[in-house]
Amino acid sequence: MSVGGMAEGVPGGQLIQEGDYVVLKKQDVYKAVQVQRRKKLIFEKQWIYLDNAIGKHYGTTFEVTGGGNLQIKRSEAAAAEPKEAGADNRNIVDDGKSQKLTRDDIEALKEKGIKGQEIVQQLIENSTTFRDKTEFAQEKYIKKKKKKYDPNISILKPSSRILAMMYYAREPGKICQLRYDTLAQMLTLGNIHAGSRVIVMETCAGLVLGSVMERMGGYGSVIQMYPGTGPVRAATDCFGFPKSFSESLYEFPLSKVESLISGTFSGHSRVSAQRDSVQGGDEESNGSTAEKKEPAQDVAEETCPVTEPEGSADSSQPETQEEMEVSGEESNERDQNPEKKQIVMEKKRKQDERRKRESEAAVLLQNKNADGLIIASRFHPAPLLLTLLGFVSPSRPFVVYCQYKEPLLECYTKLRERGGVINLKLSETWLRNYQVLPDRSHPKLVMSSGGGYLLHGITVAREPAKPNSSCPERTGEPAPKKLKVAELES
């Protein structure tokens, strides 16, 4: 197993390079982008080019100059001017005339290309009430104006911390409202670490998958179970993992799980079988299962095209509609059009590769010895959990996320009926951010009121199912007794 091409420790590994996936940060706003030369990007209502960031260190702060170019921001000398401040606001009247600069004046300053810092200074000088404000109010005023007129952009290395915070703030709908502290709980409760074999079923744009992969560092294996025709990995791509990480990443369609369990799964489909016969079928069959075909899965194979997740560059993604059409005309045009032939060959190579990975994933799943299961999706968690738990070894943790509590109540009850799990816990975390400033410390005004719920537990060796009672969760475990357990070391 490779060390995963870790850039850390290598000189220059912390430098921003062309093609890198990075995160732009302005105040508390994040945006993930790929660094490309001469590419215009919009971030927080501002056009910028990242060309000047190439070769600079990660974590560098830039200011935007004319034409959207970036320029390194040196730590500014604190404007240490004689402080003059009022004690309270008893004489401050809101007449709307305290600012002597008009909107047009400010626009003119901006157009002249005057630095944001100077605009802020002008605003302060032209504010008649500034001197009367308390020291704290002055600070707040400056902070507010700086935010508007003197924006700095930092370029950061992506991490699950940054991407989870970014997704929760920007596109919570795409990640089922999974708040970053909840994601943090999942990774810890799931004991995700290097060397494990983990099953992930998520519809969170690939954020959960990426976070799991980050914690595994390219060691061990991850099998992503996906609904529909292909896994979504838009967020996974933002992590910018080294190529070697993809060797340990497998995917397997949920639609074939039933056939895998019943033993009718086959890595081949009708489409591929046909092509194999035409082109001399040199691919060895996946010997672990019977060659029986499921009609449903052939249909899935043929109607392969899907809406590709944005920014996805994964070669294992299903092909697009046009490519499918090309392949339909394959037999007619194969000899006349060498260019098309090449496309077809490339496509076949990709398809074969994809099928091979699917067979490998099937073998891994059939071992039924996964070290953990992570579920976070828009589907009802109960059937996912009850089915996928069968692939997990005893004495391993599993974690299920759901945006709502009720489906997890059902999971809890059904797991109790099924048996083979202990230490079931239903929980939620609350996250409170604080403002900490001298004499002004307090919780932030707004806190998030919904980061989702988790059900987690540990698998154990299963026994024959017990007869079901009306309220199994009350009878499933012995009542807690205050018995002291003494351990004898002989």
Partner 1 sequence: MSFVEYREQIQDGDTAIIFLGHDSMFPVTIKQGSQTQTKYGVIRHSTDLIGKNYGSKVTCSKGGWVYVLYPTPELWTTNLPHRTQILYSTDISMITMMLELKPGSVVCESGTGSGSLSHAIIRTVAPTGHLYTVEFHQQRAEKAVEEFQQHKVDHLVTVKNQDVCKNGFGVSHIADAVFLDIPSPWEAIGHAKDALKIEGGRVCSFSPCIEQVQRTCLALEEHGFTEINTLEILLRVYDVRCISLPVPDFGTPAEEKGESSVADKAKQIPTSQPGTVQFKSGVSSREMVGHTGYLTFATKNLF
CB 72 to partner 1: min, Å: 8
Residue-by-residue DSSP string for 62-88: EEE-GGG-EEEPPPPPP--------S-
> Counting contacts by CB under 8 A, is residue 209 touching partner 1?
no
> Which of 228, 357, 426, 448 lies at the binding interface for partner 1 (CB under 8 A)?
426
CB 488 to partner 1: min, Å: 5
Query: 152-156 and 249-253 as β-strands: parallel, antiparallel, unpaired?
Result: unpaired
Amino acid at 319: E
Given a contact cutoff of 8 angstroms between Cβ atoms, the answer to whether 2 and 218 are in contact is: yes
> Counting contacts by CB under 8 A, is residue 450 touching partner 1?
no
Q: Which is nearer to partner 1, 181 or 276 (CB)?
A: 181
> Counting contacts by CB under 8 A, is residue 477 touching partner 1?
yes
Task: Give how many residues touch partner 1 by CB under 8 A.
Answer: 87
Stretch that binds partner 1, among 97-105, 282-290, 349-357, 429-437 (CB under 8 A): 429-437
CB 431 to partner 1: min, Å: 6
> Counting contacts by CB under 8 A, is residue 51 touching partner 1?
no
Query: Residue holding tokens 């967020």?
Result: 235
SS3 146: helix
Which residues make Cβ contacts (< 8 Å) with residue 469, sequence separation at least 6?
Answer: 475
Q: Which is nearer to partner 1, 263 or 394 (CB)?
A: 394
Query: Residue holding tokens 């016969």?
Result: 277
Burial of 366 (0-12, 13-18, 19+ CB in 10 A): middle
CB 426 to partner 1: min, Å: 4
Q: Which is nearer to partner 1, 47 or 430 (CB)?
A: 430
Stretch that binds partner 1, among 252-260, 328-336, 350-358, 465-473 (CB under 8 A): 465-473
Q: Give the closest residue to 206 by CA, choosing from 158, 255, 170, 163.
A: 163
Phi/psi at 466 (5° precision):
-85, 155
SS3 200: strand
Stretch that binds partner 1, among 86-94, 130-138, 216-224, 248-256 (CB under 8 A): 216-224
> Counting contacts by CB under 8 A, is residue 431 touching partner 1?
yes
> Counting contacts by CB under 8 A, is residue 195 touching partner 1?
yes
CB 135 to partner 1: min, Å: 16
**Which contiguous run of DSSP H or E holds residue 198?**
strand 197-202
> Which of 207, 216, 361, 373 lies at the binding interface for partner 1 (CB under 8 A)?
216
Stretch that binds partner 1, among 54-62, 76-84, 258-266, 324-332 (CB under 8 A): 54-62
> Counting contacts by CB under 8 A, is residue 486 touching partner 1?
yes
> Counting contacts by CB under 8 A, is residue 479 touching partner 1?
yes
Distance of CA 270 to the CA centre of its chain: 35
Q: Which is nearer to partner 1, 43 or 58 (CB)?
A: 58
> Counting contacts by CB under 8 A, is residue 42 touching partner 1?
no
Identify any residues that bridge with 62 across adjacent strands, giving them in sequence order.
Answer: 72, 153
Which residues make Cβ contacts (< 8 Å) with residue 83, sequence separation at least 6?
Answer: 135
Stretch that binds partner 1, among 93-101, 124-132, 328-336, 433-441 (CB under 8 A): 433-441
Q: Which is nearer to partner 1, 10 or 313 (CB)?
A: 10
Stretch that binds partner 1, among 138-146, 293-301, 351-359, 416-424 (CB under 8 A): 416-424
CB atoms inside a 10 Å sphere around CB 334: 14
CB 326 to partner 1: min, Å: 42
The binding track of 172-191 with respect to partner 1, each residue x by CB under 8 A or -, is: --------xx-xxx-xxx-x
> Which of 178, 403, 412, 452 lies at the binding interface for partner 1 (CB under 8 A)?
412
> Which of 234, 275, 371, 401 lies at the binding interface for partner 1 (CB under 8 A)?
371
Q: Give the closest residue to 222 by CA, choosing from 188, 196, 249.
A: 249
Cα 225 from Cα 141, distance rounded (Å)? 51
> 52 to each of 14, 65, 66, 205, 291, how far by Cα in Å?
16, 11, 13, 30, 56
SS3 223: strand
Amino acid at 188: T
Q: Give the closest residue to 426 by CA, choosing from 450, 396, 392, 452.
A: 452
Cα 313 from Cα 301, distance rounded (Å)? 21
> Counting contacts by CB under 8 A, is residue 460 touching partner 1?
yes
Q: Which is nearer to partner 1, 310 or 406 (CB)?
A: 406
> Counting contacts by CB under 8 A, is residue 414 touching partner 1?
no
Distance of CA 141 to the CA centre of its chain: 36
> Which of 82, 96, 438, 464 lies at the binding interface for partner 1 (CB under 8 A)?
438
CB 41 to partner 1: min, Å: 22
Which residues make Cβ contacts (< 8 Å) with residue 278, sequence separation at least 6?
Answer: 331
Q: Is 414 left (phi over 0), alpha (psi -120 to 50) or beta?
A: alpha
Stretch that binds partner 1, among 81-89, 157-165, 221-229, 338-346 (CB under 8 A): 157-165
CB 411 to partner 1: min, Å: 9
> Which of 52, 283, 428, 448 lies at the binding interface for partner 1 (CB under 8 A)?
428
